[in-house]
Structure 1
Amino acid sequence: ADVERHLVQAFATLGVPKQLKTDNGPAYVSARLWQFLQSWGVEHTMGIPHSPTGQAIVERTRKT
């Protein structure tokens, strides 16, 4: 899937993180992504749904 392809590119450039925090979008809640991250040894956490504070931190980090 697209998410896995982008993450592999990010891992190649930045290294493999210990943890990845995402929002609760459809691309991030799939069992396939959980398995992918587990195979890389990455802990996946998700923000609280509809939480403006948690989402603001993610958006600020991505500078969007």
Structure 2
Amino acid sequence: KDIQKHLLQAFSVLGIPKEIKLHNGPAYASTAFKGFLQKWGIKHKTGIPYSPTGQGMAEHAHQM
């Protein structure tokens, strides 16, 4: 639920994305989170499991 709250805040500033790339953590793999993304029409893309280079762009963006 915290993730959804933070995403809604981001959507209000940045707009609603067409897709979002996240890792396969339990919070992002839950039925509730998948339903949240479906409700907003957002496609969920995942990186390569256990591959830090697969998440490189997202990790770099978080550092900014």
Q: TM-score, normalised by structure 1?
A: 0.90
Most deviating of 13-22 and 52-61: 52-61
Which residue is equivalent to 1:39?
39
Shift of 1:49: 0.6
Q: How does 1:1-64 map to 2 (within 5 A)?
A: 1-63=1-63
Q: Any unmatched runs of 5+ in structure 2?
A: none
Which structure features the higher share of helix residues? 2
Query: Secondary structure in 1 aligned to 2:13?
Result: helix
Number of residue pairs matched by the alignment: 64
Q: Which residue type is aligned with residue 52 of structure 2?
A: P
Q: Which residue type is aligned with residue 24 of structure 1?
A: N
Shift of 1:26: 1.5
Most deviating of 44-53 and 13-22: 44-53
Q: Any unmatched runs of 5+ in structure 1?
A: none
CA–CA separation in structure 2 for the residues paired with 1:3 and 1:30: 12
CA RMSD of aligned residues (A): 1.2
CA–CA separation in structure 2 for the residues paired with 1:62 and 1:54: 14
